[in-house]
Amino acid sequence: MKIAIGNDHAGTAYKKALVNYLKHQNITTNNHGTDSEDSVDYPDFVHPVAKEVEDKKVDFGIIICGSGNGAAMTANKHQDVRAALCWNAEIAELARKHNNANVLSIPARYVSEDEALEMLKVFLSTEFEAGRHERRVEKIACK
């Protein structure tokens, strides 16, 4: 499995913790985020993640900013990207099961690192249910 990850200054510590976890799971990561806590513009770090998901160069994306909103809005501009802003493991599970989300957006200022890690674990281990949800997901993109 291969995952692209991007973050702004609010998500630097979270990214480091998540990448460390993924490394121990033998999951390859492409780091598109800042490694600094100096203020940066989140779109500069989110667009490369979304582009890799859009181009199917990675299996999933993880994006992290203060609220998670700006990152999700940015990623969702890309075709076939379904970025889900999640604030707990249950929402992360439903985003995968019902929406076939392929990008996890984490609000670093509103969840703990432990909560972010739990969301990631659930996100990666949950399969899309398809069925009645598939036709809904097919209606999301503007093509």
Would you list which residues are annotated within the binding site for D-ribulose 5-phosphate?
A: 8-9, 66-70, 99, 109, 132, 136
Q: Which of the residues 32, 78, 86, 98 is marked catalytic?
A: 98
- With CA atoms as reference, report the closest residue to 2 among 71, 63, 80, 56: 56
Q: If residue 45 lies in a helix (H) or strand (E), which one and from where to where? A: helix 43-54
Q: Is the separation of the CB atoms in 68 and 110 below 8 Å? A: yes
Annotated binding site: 8-9, 66-70, 99, 109, 132, 136
Q: Is the separation of the CB atoms in 58 and 30 below 8 Å? A: yes
CA dihedral 60, 68, 85, 74 (to 10 degrees): -60
Q: Is 98 a catalytic residue?
A: yes
Strand order in the sheet with 60-65: 28-31, 2-7, 60-65, 103-107, 83-85
Q: Which of the residues 65, 86, 133, 142 is marked catalytic?
A: 65
Q: Is 65 a catalytic residue?
A: yes
Q: State the catalytic residues.
A: 65, 98
